[in-house]
Structure 1
Amino acid sequence: MATPAFEEIVEDFEFLEDWEDRYRHVIEQGKAMEPLNDALKVPATKVHGCASQVWLHPIVENGAFRFDGDSDALIVRGLIAVLRSLYNGLPVGDVPKVDAGGELARLGLNDHLSAQRSNGLRAMIERIRDVAQENV
């Protein structure tokens, strides 16, 4: 189960053969995101388990899930953008059903992220799932 926005990223990755180009593409996705308002960068939105500073601000409106986020690391900001494309707009009840690991594997991210970045990515996914579960 992937959103059209995530499918676009998958298509872009298929076109970009070199991992360095893919890495740059992820960073560009993050740069294109609006920065998270500083007022939302509080302990309640901070994601623990990430090597970088990461904040996720989830919003559930009319049964639909979305979140905004930010990080002090460019690649992590890009990973947030990728996760937003995977989850934003889904019915909140569908969020926990998403096989994030399987979907992200389609991008080959598992093979090219450091252990710390992979742990941080898992922490972000857990936070997203937890918030969705609380709002079902």
Structure 2
Amino acid sequence: MASAAFEEIVETFEFLDDWEDRYRHVIEMGRDFPPLDDALKVPATKVDGCASQVWIHPRIEGEGAEAVFDFAGESDAMIVRGLIAILHALYAGERVGQVLEIDALAQLRRLGLEDHLSAQRSNGVRAMIARIREVSAAQLA
């Protein structure tokens, strides 16, 4: 089972029948997601493989597999900011050892995103997931 924050998103998506309403909700989530400090928008935090500009700045508390994963992120595209907010709900607060066990694509399928995102956006989501997994794997190494 995913985090309570992600499950809340799933419930909201189930309530919203129309994809346009879901799309607007993702954009609203992007508007509400805290902006990333400009000083953190550097090449080391930039996510390659996204059509938009995307930055993910990991914040990990603790050591090893028990360390708690969190991140800040931002994009210049509001829909992508919303996707970052969804990924944040999925991953934030998890132990880094568990981050690697989360099947993010399966969880996102519960929202029906794969049917409504362009190929470029889908590739960008996979790139963001890959970055999150890389950071977690490095923490375990």
Query: Would the TM-score normalized by the shorter structure come out above 0.5?
Result: yes
Report the residue type matching 2:131 in the other structure.
Answer: R
Which stretches of structure 1, 4 residues or more, deviate above 6 A after TM superposition? none
Report the residue type matching 1:89 in the other structure.
Answer: G
Unaligned runs of 5+ in 2: none
SS at match of 1:60: strand
Distance 1:17 1:87 in 2: 26
- Could you tell me which of 111, 117, 126 is aligned with 2:115? 111
- Could you tell me which of 111, 120, 126 is aligned with 1:122? 126
Q: Deviations over 1:13-52 (max 9, x none)?
A: 0000000000010111111011000000000000000000
Distance 1:133 1:2 in 2: 20
What's the counterpart of residue 48 of structure 2? 48
TM-score (norm 1): 0.99
Unaligned runs of 5+ in 1: none
TM-score (norm 2): 0.95
Aligned ranges 1:1-136 → 2 under 5 Å: 1-62=1-62, 63-136=67-140
> How many matched pairs?
136
SS at match of 1:43: coil
Q: Deviations over 1:33-92 (max 9, x none)?
A: 110000000000000000000000011103100001000000000000000000000011
Percent identical across equivalent pairs?
68
